[in-house]
Structures are given as structure tokens and as C-alpha cells.
Structure 1
Amino acid sequence: MKDLNEPQALLQIKALEKKFDLDKGWLETIKFKKGRLTQERRAVHAVNNVSLDVHRGEAVCVVGESGCGKSTVARLVAGLLSPTKGEIYYDGRRIDDLSRHNMRPLRKKIQMIFQNPYASLNPRMTILQALEEPVRHHNPEFSDSAVRDRVGEVMRSVGVDPAWAKRYPHEFSGGQRQRIAIARALTVDPEFIVADEPISALDVSIQAQVLNLMLEAKESRGLTYLFITHDLSVVEHFGTRVVVLYLGSICEVADTRTLFSNPKHPYTKALLSAVPQLKDDRPNHIRLKGEIPTPINLPQGCPFKSRCAFANKRCDEEKPKAIQQPDGSLVACHAVEEDRMTPQA
């Protein structure tokens, strides 16, 4: 039961779904099956009935295998994609149905950092032009000197030398480019950052620097993050809460400490068992067997059933709902609900 005294979430995602049609024209929907022509529309079910609240000051990490729908969720929240079903609210206002014009004031509040720093910066623009552009766009009342002051302050805050301003993106390393991309997001003084695997394209030696930079920005600017990643070691360092996705559906939601100390969903347990631990002389990896279902034809029932050691007939027929556990985490698993999880051999 929801606490009436709990503050309203900054971001609310309600029963979100996103499908990508594979058949673009009418002719592509015509199939020849069992000696007769039939019409069949195919679609990739990228996000399936995802509901999530993100409160101010949180760093909510969304994790899962490649293709599980993490980046699609990020793009839906940032307004780069429109949902097939469901609703998205920001600070109490519905935003998924806004026109581009009505969405414009929210662009200052919600910014996105992309995965690839080599592709997210315009190669024909100097760093100064790339950083000044969003400031001028969202603050037309700013004078030239005010724009330069804002850009210079943000550059220094993320460790980018203002002397680099006249140079082009190709003159920088990946880590430097990602710092510049972070600076570009911060120039408009946002409240909410959607970060889509912002360190996965960087060398390991640079990843910690960029993560620490993002944490410093969170504390100094009061930022809230929706952080997309597949690296669980990053989650443990960065996240306040974790959302585990599998085939576009939520398996488990828990605060970071609870998830790492007491994972409950079989998929979460398997993910965490794959994280290398120096203290483990005999690591107890959980090896998942079975086929991964295609997101084009999702199975009835639990999407994880084909790889789960605890699946039964109910898992074949009924999709599990997220149920709150005594420690506050949410778990969508019939085996957890029925308390029939046993240690794997």
C-alpha cells in the first residue's frame, strides 16, 4: 500500500509498452502459410508493461542483457521515441503525448548522455560551438558574454580545459569526448539526466573518472539519474536503486545494497553470479540453459521460463506480477511468490 506521506516521484512510468513494426507496407504483411494467403503483422516487443517511479536525487540503474529494452526505455523517457501504450509523467505532468513545441521547455530539465562519444558530437562543430548551441537555443535572452561564461564554467566543472574550445571532436580521446558530452548536457542546468551506457565505449581506466565526474555533478547540482548499463560493478558503485529487465519486462526492483546482498529473482541471481569476485576461490556461477525467446513472438506466461530452473505449469500460462517483498524490493516471479526457490546444485 502506498504511503500517502511519500513525496511525488519526479519521473513516473506507467504500464509502458513499445513495439517496432517489422512490416512497413501492406504487401509485407501478406504471408503464404499452409497453402493459403494470410495477413500477419510482425513487431518487435521491445518494452512490455514497465512501471517505475524515480524520485529526486536518485540514481536509478536499469540493467539486463543486450536487447532487453534498456536503451528503448531511455529513449522513451527522453522523448526520442513515442510509446505504443502507457504513460510517462514528469513532475506530475504527462509528457509522452506532448508535441515537439510543448516538449521544448522540458528539454532544459531532461537531458540525455549517449553511449558513443564518437557519434554524439557533430564533427563539423568546434567544442565551443557544440556547447554554446544548447545554451543559446534554450536561453535566447542570454548575451554573448553570458553564454561564454556559462560554457566556460561548465567546461571547468567537468575537467575540460576552456583552451580546447576551438578544437574539433576528432582531436580528443574517447574519455575527453564523453566529458564534453556531459558538459553539453549540463550547460542548460538540467534536473534529470538520462544516461544510456555512457561509459561502455571507454577504456576501463577512464570509466572510473567519468563515473566519479557524474557522481560529483549529482551532488553539486542536485541531479537525478536514469542510468542504463549492463555492467553490474558500475551499478554497485553508482546506483541508489536497480531495475532488472529481461525481454522488456521488469524482473526485480530493489535498492542497490538489498539487490547485491539478497537477490531474489532467478535471473538476478544469475546476473550477479557472473560478476567476478577476487575473494571467491571457487566461484559459484549459475549457468543458464535453454533458448532465449525472440522478442518478435513473446511466449505466453513468464518470459524467463525457458531458462529458469524453477519454472512450472503456472509459469507457462501466467505472466508474473511484481509483488513487494518484506525488504521493500519488487519481484515478478511465481517461484518467489510461492516460496519454492531452492538452492541450485
Structure 2
Amino acid sequence: MLEKSALVTLNKVVKHFDISGGFLEQLRFKGLRPRLEQKKVHAINDVSLAIEPGEILSVVGESGCGKSTLARTVMGLYAPDSGEIYYENTRIDTLDSTQMLVHRKKMQMIFQDPYASLNPRMTVRQTLEEPLRFHQPSISETEVRDRVAEVMEQVGVNPVWGERYPHEFSGGQRQRVSIARALMVDPEFIVADEPISALDVSIQAQILNLLMEAREQRGLTYMMITHDLSVVAHVSTRVAVMYLGTLCEVAPAANLFETAKHPYTRALLSAIPKLGQKKPRHIKLKGEVPTPIHLPSGCVFHGRCLYANERCRREVPRLLALSSGVQVACHGVEEGRVLD
């Protein structure tokens, strides 16, 4: 599924985590201990996705659905068990650390927790200088100093504060520094993993506006990981909805919020409070969320879906492209059982 126009392409990506136990627990002594059953968390299951240049693709879903794992796999922090990841027309999931360097400069990540993502032993100036010196070892001291001051001003942090340590900043200021660090090497693509969820509500909008301004000024492409649907509606061009490591629906943001197709997407959107709505119309799903260790057969959502039938229980649905530009993985939509 390599699309020539896409900046980042994922083709049937799978990522599982073995949780059977540590090394000592895996040692087997004949006759002394029975062999334990191997357990795996099925974090990402056959995900195919294309991210176009200049867009903001938001990945949404419940906690534990695989959003952050997907982000880290795209960035190469996790190696996929199978599948392919391309940056432009170059496959990057098979590159070693040296071969990946040229792409590291183009791909940057903003982490969720600004308190954990900054080195407490480094000043802000040292934090911002480090990626610049690494990727451009021939750069002069004057250029480094000017570049750091320029980016700090762009993110709203006074360059005079460059000698301070992270603990001397508020949460919002730390996240601004994290954004500045990502921008230091002039990236093309940024993965933002829950960039505002650890911040006070009063400054969340400031950080979002900062990300949007950086996109306009630098022509950035974002992959935004979030569970906040109000943020998704505000900033996204397209939205990918995940459930238990599987893509349910991928659609332009306007289409998704007006006419969601997948039953799970509709249930998510029904939980958003709306002004003037006297009685909320929540869609109440049945059953419980299955464990990602033992995924259900067929459609992973069938145990909670109001439209599930026998086909849903035995056959895994594939993403179906509709004429509106929406992709949906649902037998009910394909068969016309789930109506608009």
C-alpha cells in the first residue's frame, strides 16, 4: 500500500509484546517446572495508513487501544514484528541506526509528559543545542547560539532563561521547550503523543495554538495521538479511530464528526456533550472491553457492537474505501446493515 504522494506510509504493521515473564522465569529445568504458556499483548494488528504532506492526522481511541505504540513504532522506537514503514519512498523499518540518521532529522517526536521527557541535569540551552550539534557537527558556536535563541522565541520562551534547568519551569513552559527541541533540526514530520494531556486546561489551548503556528510557518506534517475529541475536532484534517490495536475508521475530520460510519466511532462521538442538547444521546455499548492478550475472533469489536452477526464473529473486516474518502472496517457498513 505504498502511496507515492504520502509522506509516511504504514503497510500491514504488526507489533506484539511478550509478557510471559523475565529471563529467570523463562528458564526451564526438565522435571522441575512446567513450561509456561507464552502470552503476548497484541498492541498493533495489521495497521495500514498513509499520512499526506501538510496534514494533521489524529489517532484516537480508548486508553490501551495502541495509539502510543503506533506512534513509537512509526518513529522507530519500537521495531514492528511484521509489515513495512516508509518515509516518502524509502523503507525505514529495516534501516540500522546509522542508515536512519538522515531520517531522524526529518522525523521528530513530542512526548506526553514534559516532566519526564527533559533531562533534569541539562539546562534548556544544552537540551536544545544537543540535537543541533549531533545532526550538524560542523555548525559554528555563533550559529548554534543564534539558532537556539530564535527557536526559543518562536515557542514563547525567553532566550535569557536558557541557563535554567527543567525543574525551574512550569508544565506549560516545559512542553514549549520540548516543542523547541523537536523544531531545532527543521523537521518535516512530527509525532505528538498526547502533547497537552499532562497540562492544566488553562494552558492547553496555548500549546495547541503553538503547534498550529509552527505548522503554518514551517509546513509541518503532524501525527497527533490523543483521546480528547474536542482537540481532534479543532486541529485535525483527518482522523484515524483505533480499537484494540485495529483501525476501525479513517476519515476527513468534517466527515467523521458529521456522519461517522463505524459503530464504535459513533459510540465515541455520542459521549461528546453538545450545547443546547437537553437529553444526551449516549450510545450504550454492551459487554466489556476484551483484553489485548486474547483478542476476539473476527471483528475485535463484535462483542460490544449492536449490529454484530455471525460473519462479524468469524471474519476480520478490512478497511473499505468509500466514495466520500472515508475508509471503514465494518461488515455491517459493507452490507448496508449499519445505516447513516
Please report the TM-score for the alignment, with normalisation by the length of structure 2.
0.95
How far did residue 287 of structure 1 move? 1.5
CA distance in 1: counterparts of 2:324 and 2:5, whole angstroms:
21
Partner of 1:207: 204
Partner of 2:278: 281
How far did residue 8 of structure 1 move? 1.8
CA distance in 2: counterparts of 1:206 and 1:81, whole angstroms:
31
Matched, 1:321 2:332: no
Q: Is the 8 A contact 1:13 1:53 kept in 2?
A: yes
Matched, 1:171 2:168: yes
CA distance in 1: counterparts of 2:84 and 2:163, whole angstroms:
42
CA distance in 1: counterparts of 2:189 and 2:213, whole angstroms:
15
Residues 149-202 of structure 1 deviation map (CA, whole Å, 9 limit, x = unaligned): 111111111111101111110111110100000000001100000110010001
Please tell me the residue identity of whatever aligns with 1:115: Q
Partner of 2:117: 120
Partner of 1:33: none
Partner of 1:244: 241
Q: Is the 8 A contact 1:29 1:39 kept in 2?
A: no
How far did residue 300 of structure 1 move? 0.9
CA distance in 2: counterparts of 1:187 and 1:241, whole angstroms:
26
CA distance in 1: counterparts of 2:37 and 2:259, whole angstroms:
44
Aligned-residue CA RMSD in angstroms? Answer: 1.8
Pair 203,27 (structure 1): closer, same or farther in 2 beyond 3 Å: closer
How far did residue 291 of structure 1 move? 1.7
Partner of 1:46: 43
Summarize the alignment of residues 180-259 of structure 1 with structure 2, pairs less than 5 Å apart: 180-259=177-256
CA distance in 1: counterparts of 2:297 and 2:202, whole angstroms:
44
Q: Is the 8 A contact 2:333 2:339 kept in 1?
A: no
Within the candidate set 303, 306, 316, 2:303 is matched to 306
CA distance in 1: counterparts of 2:16 and 2:302, whole angstroms:
22
How far did residue 324 of structure 1 move? 1.2
Partner of 1:98: 95
Summarize the alignment of residues 79-98 of structure 1 with structure 2, pairs less than 5 Å apart: 79-98=76-95
Pair 219,316 (structure 1): closer, same or farther in 2 beyond 3 Å: same
User: Counterpart of 1:305 in 2: which secondary structure?
Assistant: coil
User: Counterpart of 1:297 in 2: which secondary structure?
Assistant: coil
Please tell me the residue identity of whatever aligns with 1:320: P
User: Counterpart of 1:18 in 2: which secondary structure?
Assistant: strand
Partner of 1:290: 287
Q: Is the 8 A contact 2:4 2:88 kept in 1?
A: no
Unaligned runs of 5+ in 2: none
Matched, 1:135 2:117: no
Partner of 1:264: 261
CA distance in 2: counterparts of 1:296 and 1:28, whole angstroms:
18
CA distance in 2: counterparts of 1:19 and 1:108, whole angstroms:
27
Q: Is the 8 A contact 2:92 2:100 kept in 1?
A: yes
How far did residue 40 of structure 1 move? 2.8
CA distance in 2: counterparts of 1:131 and 1:118, whole angstroms:
16
CA distance in 2: counterparts of 1:279 and 1:105, whole angstroms:
52
Identity between Structure 1 and Structure 2 (%): 61
How far did residue 15 of structure 1 move? 0.1
Q: Is the 8 A contact 2:13 2:45 kept in 1?
A: yes
How far did residue 21 of structure 1 move? 0.5
CA distance in 2: counterparts of 1:236 and 1:284, whole angstroms:
19
User: How many pairs are equivalent?
Assistant: 335
Please tell me the residue identity of whatever aligns with 1:105: V
Q: Is the 8 A contact 1:29 1:41 kept in 2?
A: no
Within the candidate set 94, 104, 108, 1:107 is matched to 104
Pair 64,29 (structure 1): closer, same or farther in 2 beyond 3 Å: farther
CA distance in 2: counterparts of 1:280 and 1:133, whole angstroms:
51
CA distance in 2: counterparts of 1:154 and 1:163, whole angstroms:
13
How far did residue 38 of structure 1 move? 5.6
Please tell me the residue identity of whatever aligns with 2:70: V
CA distance in 1: counterparts of 2:36 and 2:228, whole angstroms:
41
